[in-house]
Amino acid sequence: MVDFRVVVSDSKTAQAYQVAVSGTAANKFIGKNIGETISGETLGLAGYTVRLTGGTDKDGFPMRGDLPGPTRKKILVAGGVGYHPKADGVRKRKSMRGREISSDITQINAVIVEYGQKPLSEIFPKKEATEKKEEAK
């Protein structure tokens, strides 16, 4: 079975939330590409729509949107995702993952495109608030 950590970013509040996805919900991500929009129902975000923006594989190699397929490849890059040169014109051969999500991916990055009725602060309560509730019990 495949398990993913989906990091959902909210551009309105500049907050990011982690959602663990496993089982049949995780299977819905396999075969999707960076840039595709999906329903937030699979993440437990009713009424929301999210766009996939990237991710990393099990060994920490980043996904790159302009690289086709799900496999890891060594490419010559001059900048962008996964490499930021210190000087202009510097290029380097780096291992990168393709834009298609496969079972080797562990983290998926996403951004909210359309918002639902319930605010994210209610869906994902802060850790401090939940810890205080547990201590009070």
The long-range contacts involving 46-50, CB below 8 angstroms and separated by at least 24 positions, are 46/116, 46/117, 46/118, 47/114, 47/115, 47/116, 47/117, 47/118, 48/112, 48/114, 48/115, 48/116, 49/112, 49/113, 49/114, 50/8, 50/110, 50/111, 50/112, 50/113
Look at residue 128 in the predicted model and tell me its pLDDT: 64
pLDDT lower than 70: segments of the chain? 1, 128-137
Average pLDDT in the chain? 90
Question: What pLDDT, in 10s, does the model give residues 60-77?
Answer: 999 999 999 999 999 999
Look at residue 119 in the predicted model and tell me its pLDDT: 86
Look at residue 2 in the predicted model and tell me its pLDDT: 80
Q: Where are the domains of the chain?
A: 3-66+99-136
Question: What pLDDT, in 10s, does the model give residues 104-126?
Answer: 999 999 999 999 888 888 888 87
Give the predicted TM-score (pTM) of the model.
Answer: 0.85
